[in-house]
Amino acid sequence: MLKNDRWIKERADAGMIQPFEDHLVRHLEPETSSAPVLSFGCSSYGYDLRLSSQEFLIFRHVPGTVMNPKRFNPANLEPAPLHEDIDGAFFILPAHSYGLGVAMEKLRVPPNITVICLGKSTYARLGIIVNTTPAEAGWEGHLTLEFSNSSGADCRIYANEGICQLLFFEGDPCDTTYQDRAGKYQDQPERVTLARV
């Protein structure tokens, strides 16, 4: 069953999402409707995560190398600088490239819940695809987020603003949670976590 805003708020009070916004934030100064942001916070049936400003890495082409998930080479990544102007803080994801960022919020997934992450329509309309794997029952940490720029233009990816939406699905209790089996991506910090085997 897909969980609603009441459930998300109750679980957030118990520490499931930190920091937590109990409504969708669309303006940093709501009284004046100024400083618009890509929305973040609790929605009807989900939660819009923010991209952390801590780190954003872009894959670069290294001639003669082949990516190998069993022997990941961090030399294939380069840090993207954080820029800032009147629209906010942002990273630039070049055309036809792939990048890694990390969620600002820390998650503590309950033992009977699996979390699915989907991209936001504002970015999807620019050709940005958010590809995040599920957060399994019992998983804790800051999600590493993956971005593909399928467009022919460079794109701003705003930090400290909404980047993707989490959907919370409840299932029958499982025998072994991600935490029970000491999964390799447990307790990810607010930094990009690279591929592990």
Mind telling me the catalytic residues? 146
DSSP string spanning 48-95?
A: EEEBPSS--EEE---TT----TTS--GGGEEEPPPEEETTEEEEEE-T
- H or E, element range at 11: helix 5-13
Q: Which residues 6+ apart lie within 8 Å of 88 measured at CB? A: 37, 158, 159, 160, 161
Helix-then-strand count for the chain, H and E: 2, 16
Strand partners, 157: 91
The single residue listed with the structure tokens 């399928």 is 150
Q: Are 138 and 180 in contact (CB under 8 A)?
A: yes
Q: Which tokens go with 46? A: 């989900």
